[in-house]
Amino acid sequence: MVEVENKTKRKYKYDAFISYRHIEPDLTIAKILHEMIEKFNIPKHLRTVSNDENSINDKHIFRVFRDREELSTKDLSTMIEEAIANSKNLIVICSKRTSLSPWCRKEVQLFKKIHGVNNIIPVLIEGEPDDSFIDELKNLKVTFINSENVEEEKNIELLAADIRSDEVKSPSFKGYEILEYSKDPKLNELTKKSLDILKKSEIYRIVASMLNVNYGDLKLRHQERYLKRIIYTSIAASIAMLIFVISVTTLYLKSVASERKANEQSSLMTLNMANEANLQGDRILGVLIAQEAMKNVSPKMEKYNKLKAQYENILNNSLITLPFSNQFILATESETEAFGISSDSKWLISSGSFNNAIIWNLENGEIQKTLTFEAPVVSIALSPDSKKSYVGTANNKIFEVNMENYEIKNIFGDANLPAVAMRVSKNNKYLIALRNFLILDIFDIQSQKKLYSFTFPIDNMITGFTENPQTNNFFILRKDNSITEYDINTGEALIVHALATNSEKNFLRKMTVSDNGILFYSDIQDNTESIVMKNLQSGQINHATNVRIFSSNIVVNKDASLLYVNSLNNFITRFDLSNLKPDEEINVPERATYLDTKRIQYNESIETFALSPDENTLAVVLKNMTVGAFSGIKNMTTNYSSEFILNEKSTHKAPIEIIRFTPDSKKIITSADDYTIRVMDTESTIGDSQLLDGKIVASSRDKNSILILSGEKISKYNFDTNKEEFIALLDPKFLKIFQEFAITNNVSLVALSDSTNGASASVFDVKQDKKIYTTKSHIVKEGILPYILELQFSNDGNFLYTLGPDNQLFVHNAKTGEFLFSLEDKENGEATSFIMSNDDNFVAINYITKKSTIFSLKERKIIQKIDGEVMAINSENNNIRAIYGQVDSKLFITKPNSEVLYYADNKIKTNVGSLKFNTINISFDGKYYVSSNPKNNTVITDLITGEPIRTLYSSNNDFFISLPVISKDNKKVAYNESKDKIVIINMYSTDELSQIANKTLKNRRLSEVELNSIGRRK
């Protein structure tokens, strides 16, 4: 054995010895760690002058021993002993397979014998410390001399560098051994993630341990305080130190600027995470992350406006939503899908990771309480009054939890099988527990005793269970499709309501019992499916025959007056059961109403559905794991069918097992095999809104009014008065596909393109209710349609501008119709649209070549040509201040005769061709532009940054041309949500959105786990 010199004078050949197994990913991680340590550059302020007590001198270079890099032809054992003896630190790569290596264990034993336990650095790559630390790294003790000069022994616990990715930490991770054995490509992916963690943070933790310095000091290098100290000290120095002071001040300012830039980049990345959370359907988390991102944002930042716009977008899309939008996602991290909802709809209890059950706040998604049990939770049931919950665990026990003080009791004793499903009777007297679908136990809750138990053969197990709220008797549906009613008090079988069916018919029966005691079940006779309705009190039986049933459930309302079944794959049929006579057929046209999901073209059939407690909403799960709903169905007649609203953000990553409403019908809750529970609002958070018939065809230049066309009716709507006023009925000759309209600011004149008189415009006086003139016609070449491309009035209403198929802009006297002059750029080709400056002194004509020409209206000449399409011209005192536009997907700003400056990507795909800029409206103050994209969604974009701040979704995929408008004060926006429906809703400032956020969050804050997930700390 190699003898060791005195430790205080010892000069080590190696800074560290790496102990690892020659398997993957241990081998790769050890190799990269070796290279990273030897290339590590010690920060300058940590270097010292070399002396006997500190080997970190100004020229110190790390050297690390790793057998494959260092071993020569000498004896392996001897070489390792020498290397360990000459190594200051021992780094152990710890995985679940480390303990299987005799070499690793021997190396740790030898290092402890020679150097003690202080300089051992574990690197955890898999499992938990208890699983992956070898015995030699556990229960460590060190001896020291205490204040009384007596030897004392104390326990120490090694602090590991943790390079496990989230997937490796997950309880569902199957282990590196399986990945390596199966040659799964996932091994390389997870190894890379671990190396990324090593590079970003844990290498600093390892080197800090080797140098015995502070981890934060090493990683973050707090130079700012250091430089400030130098600056303050230098102020008191002599004039000879002035140059030094200036240099240090410059460095400090650069440090502040660098810190500001780093904070800016960090905020941008964090806002991306917030946006991703919102896109996934976790709107509350999106708001919380966005608020965290803005904490260090300063107006001095270069991208301050961009950060503000992105923040506003996240708040808008998270807080201002349509009905049936996802509110938040509860990450249970459990395979158990069961949950219970409180009777006041304020909280929910679910299983959690490990041996936990979690109580969630349903108002903001926050964890209220975590309960820990002896074993993993496999089932949950909640009493009707929500005062008690019952939790089944994997060790075959059932626990009662007092939900007022969270006291946990095992009151029902032990069993041989776990309770995989439980329910409490509606009278709160009985607990029914199903054990592996083979055994059914009935407990008396008050006496805490088992009343009786049923055992069923595995080939005829239980497939369904329900109870009669009138008598509390229960019904068992078995694999052979038989339904038997049992007495709840004695367990005696009372009656077989449905006999077993032929197994060859591949028929799966469903059943339910209404609150007023009527049994419904599916049946099959002569290969034809039907629904049987049996009044358990009177014995009256009715049938709905020839019904093709596809759903896994049958839904009825409380008084059994309405029956819902899934038929024809994508339809739900509702039957009116009122006033049924004995033996009367249910499936007749006058009793049936059909609810269509309208998703048949995507082959997204219905999996299951649920009726809200207020009986006004039907929530539907589709095959692609999304959730939608039919609302307003309670008073629906056979002549009216509710529209299906699909929440695309509700998509789980695995099949949905449970869908339920909260008792107040305000939330839909789904649980799936992806270890999450999703909570959806049934109500809109848009606030006050108006719904008008028709479509927007024009807006006034001052954005105070819009012109509405509904059939032949023309009307105006004023944002200030919130009123719509009839103007006139339009002659059918003006009802063309490519009809263009314009109005003056006071809506005294209305102009319409008129193809009956060439390519001209007809102008109507609203007060006189008559046409006052038709403008001069543009030249129409043979083969070209005689349509005006666009027309507008000036701000003062004195001029009318028309752009025709001859690519000329005509200027007319708006009072008389007199033609005044025309503007044309013959070099650019076919015109598509024109843009007026805010003061009407300039106009830009856009061309199909994606170029534009700027004209002075006073001088009647071209003043500038731009390689791009103009969206807005900002001018003042007859001088252009700025021109905004786009080139392909790039937004630009330019001034007269200056270069085009590209400042942002246009993230919104607009319409194409002549519709491109006819569907864009600039707000009155030039702050926003609002546009309709090819999917007819309306997008409000910040013009200065190009960042979308709000998206307003259309109700269907029908194609129509929309002209959205923002009111003059930016308080409202009007848009077509369908081709014949206009919605007018509020717009909110960032301050108003922040107030809504605080009210919605209800004091919820990001948890430590959530902060860690986005790279932040409390």
pLDDT band at 230 (very low <50, low <70, confident <90, very high): low
CA 336/CA 319 separation, integer angstroms = 30
**pLDDT(221) > 90:** no
417 sits in the region (left: phi over 0; alpha: psi -120 to 50; else beta) called: beta
Pairing assessment for the beta strands 14-19 and 87-94 based on DSSP bridges: parallel
pLDDT of residue 525: 82
Tokens 């002896």: give the residue. 374
- Give yes or no: residues 306 and 249 share one domain: yes
CATH number of residue 552's parent domain: 2.130.10.10
- Is the per-residue pLDDT at 843 higher than 80? yes
| Average pLDDT value for residue range 359-372 | 96
Q: Which of 596, 615, 646 is the last residue of a domain?
A: 596
d(CA 87, CA 18): 10
Assigned domain for 963 exists? yes
- Among 53-67, 128-142, 316-330, 713-727, the range with the most confident prediction by mean pLDDT is 713-727
Of 652, 660, 641, which is closest to residue 572 (Cα–Cα)? 641
Task: Find, among 917, 908, 907, the residue nearest to 961 by Cα.
Answer: 917
Q: Residue 75: pLDDT band by 50, 70, 90 thresholds?
A: low
For residue 216, pLDDT over 80 is answered with no
Q: Report pLDDT for 917.
A: 46
CA-to-CA distance for 232 and 224, rounded, in angstroms? 12
In a domain, 928, yes or no: yes
**Are 14 and 87 spatial neighbours (Cβ–Cβ below 8 Å)?**
yes
Contact 1000, 287 (CB under 8 A): yes
* Of the candidate ranges 126-130, 695-699, 810-814, 1013-1017, the one whose mean pLDDT is the lowest: 1013-1017
Does the pLDDT at position 913 exceed 80? Answer: no
| DSSP H or E run through 285 | helix 283-293
The answer to whether residue 831 is domain-embedded is: no
Tens of pLDDT along 618-673? Answer: 999 988 899 989 998 988 876 666 778 887 677 899 999 999 999 999 999 999 99
> Looking at the domain assignment, is residue 430 inside a domain?
yes
Query: What confidence category does residue 590 fall into, taking pLDDT thresholds of 50, 70 and 90?
Result: confident
pLDDT above 50 for 7: no
Is the pLDDT score of 222 beyond 50?
A: no
In a domain, residue 708? The reply is no
> 658 and 690 share a domain?
no
Backbone angles phi, psi at 466, to 5 degrees: -155, 170
Residue ranges with strand state E in 888-1000: 890-894, 901-905, 920-922, 928-932, 938-942, 948-952, 965-966, 972-978, 981-986
Checking 940-945 for CB contacts under 8 A at 24+ apart, the result is 940/966, 940/973, 940/987, 941/906, 941/907, 941/908, 942/305, 942/309, 942/312, 943/871, 943/872, 943/884, 944/305, 944/309, 945/305, 945/306, 945/309, 945/903, 945/904
pLDDT greater than 60 at residue 485:
yes
pLDDT band at 743 (very low <50, low <70, confident <90, very high): very high
SS3 for 608-637 is EEEECCCCCEEEEEECCCCEEEEECCCCCC
Report pLDDT for 245. Answer: 61
Residue 807 has what DSSP assignment? S
Q: Are residues 204 and 82 in the same domain?
A: yes
**Tally of residues, the chain:** 1018
Averaged over 567-596, what is the pLDDT? 87
Q: Which of 516, 448, 441, 506 is nearest to 476 (CA)?
A: 441
Half-sphere exposure of 861 (CA within 13 A, CB side): 2
Cβ atoms within 10 Å, residue 44 = 8
Distance from C-alpha of 521 to C-alpha of 511, rounded to nearest angstrom:
4
> Could you tell me if 451 and 480 lie in one domain?
no
Question: What residues have CB less than 8 Å from 43, skipping those under 6 apart?
Answer: 218, 221
Distances (CA, A) of 206 to 223, 557, 727, 881: 21, 64, 78, 57
Do 198 and 242 share a domain, yes or no? no
Domain span including residue 316: 223-320
> For residues 72 and 79, is the Cβ–Cβ distance under 8 A?
yes
686: left (phi over 0), alpha (psi -120 to 50) or beta: alpha
Q: Say yes or no: 345 and 312 in one domain.
A: no
DSSP codes of every residue in 232-250:
HHHHTS-GGGHHHHHHHHH
User: Above 60 in pLDDT, residue 178?
Assistant: yes
The confidence band for 228, taking pLDDT boundaries of 50, 70 and 90, is low
Residue of higher predicted confidence among 974 and 216: 974
pLDDT over 90 (residue 989): yes
How does residue 1 score in pLDDT terms, banded at 50, 70 and 90? very low
Residue 9 lies in a domain: no
pLDDT at residue number 828: 87
Residue 208 structure tokens? 């800090």
Q: pLDDT digits over 234-249, tens only?
A: 555 555 566 666 777 7
| pLDDT bracket for residue 138 (50, 70, 90) | confident
Same domain, 56 and 161: yes
Question: How many whole angstroms separate alpha carbon 802 and alpha carbon 760?
Answer: 8
Checking if the pLDDT of 615 tops 80, the result is yes
pLDDT tens for 283-324 read: 999 999 999 999 999 999 999 999 999 999 999 999 998 888
pTM of the model: 0.70
828 inside domain: no
Q: Are residues 106 and 152 both part of a single domain?
A: yes
* CA–CA gap between residue 202 and residue 219 (Å, rounded): 10
105 and 92 share one domain: yes
Residue where a domain terminates, one of 430, 455, 480: 455
Instruction: Examine the domain organization and report whether 264 and 353 are in the same domain.
Output: no
CA gap 610, 619 in Å, rounded:
5
**Same domain for 312 and 278:** yes
- Mean pLDDT over the full length of the chain: 87
Least confident span in 1-10, 166-175, 778-787, 930-939: 1-10
Query: Which pLDDT value is given to residue 1018?
Result: 53
Q: Among residues 1010, 874, 1018, which one has the least CA distance to residue 331?
A: 1010
Supply the pLDDT for residue 795: 96
Q: Is residue 714, in this structure, part of any structural domain at all?
A: no
In the sheet that holds 511-513, the strands lie side by side as 511-513, 518-525, 528-535, 541-544
- Residue 653 CA, distance from chain mean position: 13
The residue from 220, 250, 284 where one domain ends is 220
Confidence of residue 50 (pLDDT cuts 50, 70, 90): very low
Selected residue with higher pLDDT from 631 and 73: 631
Query: What pLDDT is stored for residue 600 in this prediction?
Result: 44
Task: Note whether 388 and 447 are same-domain residues.
Answer: yes
**What is the tens place of the pLDDT at every residue in 797-838?**
999 999 999 999 999 999 999 999 999 999 988 999 999 999
Q: For a pLDDT cut of 70, what percent of the chain falls above it? A: 88
Average pLDDT over residues 734-758: 87
Task: Please enumerate in sequence order all residues whose Cβ is within 8 A of that of 285, keeping only pairs 6 or more positions apart, or say none.
Answer: 274, 277, 328, 329, 365, 1010
The pLDDT score that the predictor gives to residue 694 is 93
Does residue 355 register a pLDDT over 90?
A: yes
Domain count for the chain, please give it.
6
